Amino acid sequence: MELLKKFEKHKKSFVKSVSYSLLPMAFCMLFTFLILPAFLISKPANAAIYIDINSPTIKKISIAVPDFNVASFNTSSKGISKTSPSVISSDLDFSGFFKVLDPKSFLDKPEAITSSNVNYSNWATVGAEALVKGEVRKSYGTTVTLNVKVYDITTAKQIFEKNYTGDGKDSNYLAHLAANDIQELFTGIKGIFDTQIAFISKAGKNKEVYISDYDGSNIKKITFHNSLSLFPKWSSDGRTISFTSYKGGNQGLYVKDVFLGAEKVLSNKRGLNLNGNWSFDGKKLAFTTTIDGNAEIYVINKDGSGLKRLTKSIGSDISPTWSPDGSEIAFVSDRGGSPQIYIMSSNGDNVRRLTYEGKYNTSPSWSPKGDKIAYVSQTGGRRFDIFAITADGKAVQKITNGGAANENPSWSPDGRYIIFNSNRNGGHSIYIMKSDRTEVRKIFKGKGEFIQPSWSPRIAGKNIKIN
């Protein structure tokens, strides 16, 4: 109870002064005064060239993506004919499987690339092994169709064709879907380019929840609490986000439907209501609350029913994250004297300590593959790095490399990438890297501070037709 009194005493000043640079210390502060805080891939049937992702060395496929043709001319379609191939090129380049050729090297103009007239010799001359050809077709009203074809330059054959139909304002999303399929064509793995991220950023003097496409484009503010919002997490339904907010003065746990805009409170009992993580089936949310006096982990159904306490310790327990099969939950506890990662059964039984290296370990995130848990460890002063540990605790790997505060890891839905925030280049921003520690990319290019990213599953709710 003494900790709760200290929390109330310092809450106002802490909320006012909370700094992005201090966020990795959030768990430590909670203890001080209860803060706010391989699979085997078979060769794709149609492609003569393909990528074996299990190979120790991957040779990238050289691919050309020229501007699309416009079948039904109008101003918006003309713009889409340029933005769509740009989106596809960026996605394929991001994947690490493709070498996207510079359009300035192309010998053929877009209008010359028709289904009956592909100059394979010209494309081979510029080094292309594959060619993506597209056409923008306006159907009715604001509806557009992207007709996308892929050609294998080495065999001089068309190997893929699909139509992606939706509202013109979602043309980038249609292009992301096409890139997903193109990656799958050559690797056997569908891309993650139709996913989004939720994150926290400043809105005036406040901090609100925002979403964007996985690559940092199409930023949209989704909360308007005029307060401090923290720790957004996507549900597996691809449309629901939970988060903690100080709206109204008390810390509450909220859920928001991204598409309908509907919002409701799951828990706003006096004290701590700190967001955790959704189960992979999206039916339950694990979070931390002080409803019984101590900071313990509870689960609650999506509709707010079925509140159940899981942990019962003298320490503080926070940051729960579910295993993909829903049988276990990893979390952070100081029950042993310092913040460490623990694992328990999803009913609260069979608690065991997972991390033994490092004096301060927090922010666990369970990989969708189920084999690893990413977490943050203090590596000196205000330096924090992301590590990955196998679920049995037998192997630990350092993912980021010192010199900054690297925190809040979240896995891509295919388990191949990790998103996190870092102040490595000054202000806090969000970065994506492969889980093998290569190809780190900053996704927000402009000014501003962006923290606490959460990677979505594949987005649901858009009216899209693919055939």
CB atoms within 10 A of CB 340: 24
Lowest-confidence segment of 44-48, 114-118, 163-167, 330-334 by average pLDDT:
44-48
Q: What is the pLDDT of residue 204?
A: 84
For position 29, what pLDDT does the model report? 37
For position 112, what pLDDT does the model report? 55
The whole-number pLDDT of residue 269 equals: 86
pLDDT of 228? 96
**Which positions ≥6 away from 446 have C-beta within 8 Å?**
none
Into which CATH architecture does domain 61-187 fall? 3-Layer(aba) Sandwich (3.40)
Q: Is the pLDDT of residue 4 over 80?
A: no
Mind listing the pLDDT tens digit for each residue in 400-436? 986 899 999 999 999 999 999 999 988 899 999 998 8
User: 116 to each of 105, 151, 197, how far by Cα in Å?
Assistant: 22, 12, 40
Domain segments of the chain as ranges: 2-37+192-462, 61-187
User: Residue 441 and residue 420: Cα distance in Å, rounded?
Assistant: 10
The whole-number pLDDT of residue 21 equals 40
pLDDT at 210 over 50: yes
pLDDT score for 115:
59
- Report field, pTM of the whole predicted structure over 0.85: yes
| The one-letter amino acid at 286 | A
What single-letter amino acid sits at 370? G
Mean pLDDT of the chain: 87
- For residue 16, the tally of other CB atoms under 10 A from its CB is 9
Percent of the chain with pLDDT strictly greater than 70 = 85
Q: Per-residue confidence at 152, pLDDT binned at 50, 70, 90?
A: very high
Residue 153 makes CB contacts below 8 A (sequence gap 6+) with: 120, 123, 124, 128, 129, 130, 131
Residue 118 has pLDDT above 60, yes or no: yes
22 pLDDT more than 60: no
pLDDT at residue 280 is higher than 70 = yes
Q: What is the DSSP string of 320-368?
A: EEE-TTSSEEEEEE-TTSS-EEEEEETTS-S-EE---SSS-EEEEEE-T
Between 354 and 447, the more confident residue is 354
Q: What is the DSSP letter of 122?
A: H
pLDDT at 403: 82
Q: What topology does CATH give the domain 2-37+192-462?
A: Neuraminidase (2.120.10)
- Note the pLDDT of residue 460: 66
In which band, very low, low, confident or very high, does the pLDDT at 12 lie, cut at 50, 70 and 90?
very low
pLDDT higher than 50, residue 23 = no
Q: For residues 266 and 403, which has the higher predicted lDDT (pLDDT)?
A: 266
- Is pLDDT of 295 > 70? yes
State which H helix or E strand residue 184 sits in. helix 171-187
